[in-house]
Structure 1
Amino acid sequence: MIYLVEDDKSIRELVAYTLNSAGLEAEGFERPSEFWAACEKNLPDLVLLDIMLPEEDGIQILQKLRQKEATKRMPVIMLTAKGSEYDKVFGLENGADDYVAKPFGMMELLARVKALLRRTEDLRPKAEEKVYRLEELEVHVDQYRVLSQGEEVALTRKEFEMLCYLLENRGRVLTRDQLLNKIWGYAFDGENRTVDVHIRTLRQKLGQCGKYIETIRGIGYKIGGNG
């Protein structure tokens, strides 16, 4: 979502239309108070901010954004009729990421917005891959890879899900009923051997690492200790 704070209705509507037409969801606000109210409900991915505004000017808004923890890194492009080098430098020194002087072409503005969004996305910390490790056993959840003593092991979907569930609950005893409910979606009836059969084949495929899966007699299974 892109928020535009611009008191000139024709510019506000044209910019919002251009961004929405390009597949970038945008919403325009005439007054800073409307902008702040919207931010309370939902923070935007980028702000287009005019300098000459009623209530408070764009520089004041920018300074407030940079002072708040939730918005201090929010991408901001200043839109203003002031085209002097001093005003441009002043805006950038106060934390603006880019500056476009009026009158500007819609295609140029769109290109600037897309470029800034790309740069911001590149700078965001990437989510760490989820990996389970237990001595010589390694499970890369996102890659659907299992390594036993450094050798890749091919598991069925259910075997993989069961291993991940055991590792997620490392050190805890999981009953057959819990395993059936989680992996297969139905309850244990006392006779069903589905879990036991899958545990047996899982142990076989894991080789030496299969010993990490412990049988808790009369209850179920667990993997690893309390660490």
Structure 2
Amino acid sequence: MATTRILVVDDEEDLCEILKFNLEIEGYDVDTAFSAEDALKLDISSYNLLLLDVMMGEISGFKLANMLRKNEKTAKMPIIFLTAKDTENDLLTGFNLGADDYISKPFSIRQVVARVKAVLRRTASKPLEQEPELLAYETLILDTKRIKASVNGEEVPLTKKEFEILKLLLENKGNVFSREEILSRIWKDEVYVLDRTIDVNITRLRKKIGIYGKNIVTRLGFGYCFEY
């Protein structure tokens, strides 16, 4: 039976060694990297689980996770975040990036080992992915189940159409949608809806989401996209 391989990425070298020692006692094959840059030099797709610190140097844990999710080979890599950042927004960002667990520092080694085992059990027979309940870009959070939007933890009051437009753009970051596409997806069979209606809703939406309004970009002659 193949040994389960775990990669620990944390800039605290002592913590890496402690985790490596204790996880190897449990029978896992463990490697360590002291930065995201070092981790990227390895074949990350060869590991069964990634223990990832959030607060590192130039490439944060969130940024590395986002990079891995965009790579076909590592898109479904199980990730446990290890971090001192435990605000609600940090948790939401982590889980929206597809984190399988989120362990706040300081923690006990026994707790980490138990949760590593739990994640490995879950991901060994992971069901088909459902639509995420949370969509996020940095501190802009969209809760698609409770139909709520927030920026920096503060709720943003959006109309139904504004919410649906933002949901469409966040689900497809970087993709350009023409006014016709937005009309067909958001207004569907409603009649007498003008292109200008899209512009008005986009303008209001930009104002409401504050600093992230600039991320909703107009591509002249084409339409709108959420740039990141």
**TM-score of the pair, normalised by structure 1:** 0.52
Q: Which whole-Å CA distance do the structure 2 matches of 1:101 and 1:123 have between them?
A: 24
Once the two structures are superposed, residues 150-184 of structure 1 have per-residue CA deviations (whole angstroms, 9 ceiling, x without a partner) of xxxxxxxxxxxxxxxxxxxxxxxxxxxxxxxxxxx
2:8 counterpart SS class: strand
- Which of residues 18, 27, 37 is equivalent to 1:14? 18
Residue of structure 2 aligned with 1:94, choices 89, 97, 120: 97
Aligned residues: 124
Which of 68, 75, 80 is the matching residue for 2:78? 75
Question: Match of 1:38, SS?
Answer: coil
Does residue 32 (structure 1) correspond to residue 52 (structure 2)? The answer is no
Distance 2:49 2:114 in 1: 14
Determine helix, strand or coil for the equivalent of 2:122.
helix
Letter in 2 for 1:17: F
In the TM superposition, what are the counterparts of 1:177-188 in structure 2 within 5 Å? Answer: none
Q: 1: distance between equivalents of 2:115 and 2:12? A: 21
RMSD between aligned residues: 1.6
Q: What is the CA–CA distance in structure 1 between the aligned matches of 2:19 and 2:123, rounded to whole Å?
A: 21
Alignment partners' CA distance in 2, 1:54 and 1:45: 24
Q: Does 1:64 align with 2:62?
A: no
Q: Distance in 2 between matches of 1:55 and 1:84?
A: 21
Structure 1 segments (4+ residues) deviating >4 Å: none
d(CA) in 1 for partners of 2:127, 2:87? 32
CA distance in 1, matches of 2:27, 2:36: 25
Report how far residue 30 of structure 1 moved. Answer: 0.5
Deviations 1:23-59 (A, max 9, x none): 111111002122111126x621000000111130000
Rg larger in structure:
1
Q: Look up the SS of the partner of 2:38 in the other structure.
A: helix
Q: Identity of aligned pairs, percent? A: 35
How far off is 1:120 after superposition? Answer: 1.1
TM-score, normalization: structure 2? 0.52
From the superposition, tell whether residues 94 and 123 of structure 1 become closer, same or farther in structure 2 (CA, over 3 Å): closer
Alignment of 1:69-148 (within 5 A): 69-123=72-126
